[in-house]
Structure 1
Amino acid sequence: MAGGRRIRITLASRLAGVVVLLVAAAVALATFLLRWLPREPWLAAGIALAVMLPVAVIAVRAVLQPVLAMFRALGGTVISYRDGDFSFGLHWERDDEIGDLVASHNALGDVLREQRVQLVQRELLLDTMVQNTPVAMLLVQEGGPVVFANIAARQLLHRGRRIEGVDIAAVLQRAFPSLREAYARGGDGLFSVSRVAGDGEEGGAEDEIYHLARREFTLNGRKHELLLLRHLTAELRRQEVQTWKKVIRVISHELNNSLAPVASLASSSAQLLQRGQTERLPDILRTIEDRARHLERFIEGYAKFAKLPAPRMERVAWRNFIEALQSQVPFRVQGELPGEPGTFDAAQMEQALINLLKNAHESGSAPDEVCVCVRRAGDMTAIEVADRGSGMAAAVMEQALVPFYSTKRSGTGLGLALAREIAEAHHGRIGMHNRPGGGLAVTLVLPASPAHP
C-alpha cells in the first residue's frame, strides 16, 4: 500500500516475475554445478534443467491455480444466468485483470437481477390486467391445445374451470353454435348469442352481441393464434341511447324546417283570401303539399323501424321467394336452394334482405359478385348476403348494428339495424364477417321450424 492506495500488480507482471526467478535459479544452479563438473557443461546444464523443470511447473501452477478456480466459478455463474438464476456473485482480492473481469461479471449480474425483478413485476401487472379484463382472451397453439385463457374466457366458455391444455375444438364443441360458426369462417366478425332471461325479466330470451378478433403470431418458434371475444351488448345499448338522442334532435330539426314554412304559407294564404287575391293560392298549396309529403316520407322511414309488427309466420317456398327478390334487386344465387320450404314472415324477410342487398351493391362490389346463399344447418337456416366490396373496418363493424349509425353521407343507418330486429323477431340472429379475398358477408340465421313465443 502507498498513500492508502493498493498497488496494482497485473497477471502478466506476476507471471513475468515467476519466469525471471525461475531463470535466475536455473542459471545459479548451472553455475554451481559447473564448479563440480568444469569439463562437462552440457551435463551441468541438463541436471539444472531437470531439477528446475518440475519446480517451474509447480510455481506456474501455484500462480495460475486461483485464476483457474476463478474461471471455473465464472463458468458456473454463466450457467446459472442461463438457467435464470442471478443470485450468485464472485469475489477476487487481487487488483489485476481477473479482478476487472470479476467486477464486470458482478455488474452484469446486478443488471440482470434488476431487469429480472422489473420483468417479474411487469409480468404480474400484465397478468393482473389480462386476468381482470372483461374481454375473453384465448391463446391457442398450432395443432389445437389452449395455452392460456383468462378469467373471462373460462367463465364464458368453460364454466369458470381451467381450459389450458384442452383442445380448442373440444372447447368450441361445448360453446355457442354461433361462436363455432364464426370461428369456422375465419377472420374477425360479429355473432350473437341467445340467453334465456332471468326470473322477473320480461321476454323469454335476449340476444347478446359479441365481436370475435383473431391474430396470428409466432411464439418460441411455433405458430399461435390469439382469440379475443368482446361483449358488445352493453356498449351497443349505450350507443343506442346516445343515437336515439341524436335522432330526436334530427327529427325535431326536420319538423321545425317543414312546419315553419307550412305555417308561414298558411298564414299568407289566409291573407290572400281576405284580399281576394287567389291567383297565387295553387302555387302556395302545392308547396305546402310538397313539404307535407317530404315530412311524411321522412317520418315513415323511422316509423318502419320503431313500429316493426310481430312477424306473421308462414311456410314459404325458397325458389318463389328468391325469384321475387331478384325482380327487385339483382344478385346471383350461390349453391342449391333448400328443397323444404322455410317458415318466416315473407314481407319482413324481403325487406331485411333488400336492405342487405342494397348495402352490398353500394359497397363497391361488382354487381355480378353480389350473391345470396341459403343453406340448412341442423334445425337452423342460414341466409347469407355476400359481396366483393371493400369490406368493413373493425371499428365500424363494432357499431354497425347500432340504429342510425352510418358511414354514408346520405345513409339513415337503419338497414343493418332493421335486419337485426327482423332476425331477432323471428327468434334468430345476425352475424357478419369480412370475407377472405375482400368483401363482406352478412348472415341471417333463422329457426328452420316455426318459433313459438
Structure 2
Amino acid sequence: PAASPVTAVLAAALAAGVLVAAVRPAWTARREAAFAGLVLASLWLARSADGMAVLRTRAVLETTVAHTVLTQEAWGGFLIEESLPGLDRSASDIAAFFKDPPPARDTDFAHELWARTSVAKANWHSSLEVRDAEGNTLSRFSLNVPRILGDPPDLEPSADWAIVPRSLTFIGREKDFLVGYKDYAENGVRIGRVVLYVSLDPEMLPFLYSANPYFEVLRTDPLPSLGELDLGCEIFDLDGVSLFNPRKVTAGLADPDLERLQAAAPPFWSSFRERGTVYDAYLFRSGERGYSLFTPRKDLKTGAVDALRFFFLGLAFAAAAALLAALAGGRAWVRRPWWSFSNRVYAGFLVLTLVPLLLYTVFTRNLFDSLFTERFVEESAVRASYAQGLMEAFLFVQGVELSPYLAPREDLALWISETLSNDVILYQDAVLGASSRREFFETGLLPDILDGETYQALVYERKPYYVQRTRLGDYSFQTLTVPYEFRNSTLFISLPFPFEREQLGRATREIVEFLVLLSAFFVVLVVLFSRGIRSQIIVPIRKLLAGTREVGLGNLEVAIEHRSRDEMMTLIDGFNTMIRNLRAHEQELAEMSKKVAWTEMARKVAHEIKNPLTPIQLSAEHVLKVYEDKRGDLDTALKESMSYIIGEVENLRRIAQEFMEIARDTTPDKEPVDLKALVEETVRPYRRLLSERIRFTLVTEGEEVRVRGDAAKLRTAFRNVVANAVEAIGGRGEVAVTVGREGGLARVVVRDDGPGMSPETLARIFDLYYSTKDSGTGLGLPITRKIVEEHGGAIRVVSEPGRGTSVTVELPAGA
C-alpha cells in the first residue's frame, strides 16, 4: 500500500529510539523523550492500521467482489434453472389457466407461480408473464422489472424450457436479462407460453444491492456491504463509455488504463482523483466490458485524525498508569491534587480550553442538523416538482384516455425511480399501488396504506408536499410524499431517502475530524502556554519556596537566578536583596553579640576577681598593722592572714580556670579511657576529706567501661558534677555514684540526697553564669555539658524539691 514507505520510516525511527534507550537509559526518563516516543508510536500505529485496512480492502476487492461481478450471470443462470422445476410442478394448473383464462388481466396467478421459484426466494429482480397463443398477456407479476420493456423479440417456439440472454431497452438504457420460456400445447395445438425474466442489471450485484440501507433490515448472508466498506463500481464498454455509474463519477478511464483493458491485460490497480479525493481502482475485463472497483484513499487530514486518536488513547493509558503508580506510592499530590498552585493553574487552563470546545461541538452539531434538514427540505421541493412532471409525462405517453385504475402503475414507479435514481412508492387513494421496492411490502415491512398524518397534511391541509420520518425497525429515514390529482383519483408519490443517514454520518465524520484537529490544536496551544506559564511563574515560585525553606533552616547563602525581565524578576530581586540584607544584619548582630559577650565576660571576671581581692587586701593590711604596732601576736596574725590569702588565691586560680574552659573551643584529644578508674580517681579526694559528714558510695556494674575521650576534660566534667552534689548537701548526707554500660552507651549517674531544685531552677541550670550559690560562677554545669557534647554524649538532670538530685551522663562506649 501507499502507506508502506512512511510506515517503514516510522518503524526505523522507533527502532532507533529503542536502541538509544538501551544505550542511554537516563535519556528515557526525560519527558521530551516520552512525548517523542508516544508521537512516533501513534504515527506508526495509525499508518500500520491504515496499511492493514488497505490490504484487507484490496483482498476483498480482488477476490470476493471481483468474483461476484464475474459470476453474476452464472448466479442468475443458476437461479433461473433452479426456478424452472418449480414451474413444471404447476404444469397442470398452467394448462387449466390457458383453457379457462380470466376475462381481464390479473396478477394473482402469475404471482402464485413466481412465489414458487428460487428467484422469488432470493428477492432477485424478475418478472413472470403468462401469455396466450397470440402473445397477449393473461397474467403478469413483476418484482422491480417494468412491463414496457415489451415482448422479447425472436423467441423460437420451444416445447421445453429454453434460456436465452437478451438486452432490452428501458428509458434509453440497455438492461441485460436471462429469459426462460416454455410453450404449452394441447393435442399438438399451441395454447400459450410462460416467460420468466431474470435481471442481470449491475444493480443486482450483491455488494451493490447491500449498499442500500434497506439491506440491513433484510440481511441474511455475510456479503460485504458498503456499510462496512466504502466501495464503488463503474462499468465501461471497450470504448471507455460508462455504462453503469451509480456513484456519478466523472473522472472516467485514463487512456493508459483503457489501453490495458482493450489489450485484455490481467487485472491491475490504478488510481484517479475525483472532487479532491484520490481513489484506488481495481480494473479488470470480462467479455466486452471493463469493470472498475474503487475505494477512497485516506487523505492527510484523516490520517492525522487517526494518529491523534492513537496519541490521545496512549496519553490516557499513560496518565492512568502514572495515577496508579502515584496512588501506590502514596504521593501527596494525589491525595490533595488541588493543593498545588501549578495543578490549579493547569486545570484552569484545561477547563478554559475544553469547555468552550465542548459547547462549540454541541452547538455545531445542532447547527449542522438544522442546516441539513433545511437543505433536505429545499431539495425535496425540487424533487416534488420533478416527480409531478414525470407523472404527467408518463400518463401522456400512456394516453390520457386511460383510467388511472388501468394505468401500469408498476411501470410508472420504476420509470420515476430510474429517472430520479431514487426508490418510489405509489399510493392510489391512500392505498398501495406500486413500488420500486415491492419486496418490502411483500414481506410486510411497510404498510399497504398511506400514513394518516401524511394524508391529513396533503389532502385536508392542501400542502404541496410533506416530509416525514419513516422507521424500519431501528432504522429510520426521511420520506417525501407528493400528491397528484388525476380526474377523480389522487396518486401519492412517496420518495424515501434511505441514504440520508449515510450522508449525515459522512458529514458528521468530517465535523468530528475537524473537531479532533481543532482539539489537538488547542491542546498543543494549552501545552505550550502551560510550559510558558511554568517557566515564567511556576518554576520561579518553586525556587522562591525552596529558597524560603533554606533561609528557614539558617542558610543565608541562597541566591535565586531568573533571566526574564518581568514582574517575577522584580520579586526575585527583592528576595535576593532581602537575603543579602539579612546576611549583613547577621554579621552585624554577630559582631554586636561578640562585643556584648566580651563586655559581659569582662564584667563577670572583674566581679569574680574583685570578691577575693578584698579579703586578700584586708588580710595584708592586718598583718602590716600588727607588724607596725609591734604586737606579740604577729606570728598568729601572720599565719592566719597568709592562710586566708592562699585560699583566696586558689579561689582566683579556680575562677580563671573555669573562664578558660568556657572560652576554649578546642577539639578534645581522644584516646581510650577507663571510665571506672577515672570516676573513682575523681571521687577519691572528696571521700577522704569529707567522709566524716558525707558518705560516698561508688558502684560499678558489669565489666570495665571504656570510652574514647580526653581524660583531663572528662575529669573536669565529673569533678563539677560531684562538687555540685557536695555543695548541694551542705551538711550531712550521701552521694551515690554508679558507673555502667548499656548497649553502646557508657553511663555515669551521680545522686545526692540534698534539698533538690524547683522546676524553675532546673530549667536554667545550664544557662551561662546562672548560679544559686553566692560564691558560684554559674560556669560549672555549662562547662560540663560542653565537654560531654564534645565527646558525642548527653547529660540529663532530674530533681524534685526535698528528694535530691540525679545527674546522668551518657557517652558513646568505645575500645
TM-score range relative to shorter protein: 0.3 to 0.5
Q: Which has the higher contact order (CA 8 A, sep 6+)?
A: 1
TM-score (normalised: structure 2): 0.22
Q: Which has the larger radius of gyration?
A: 2
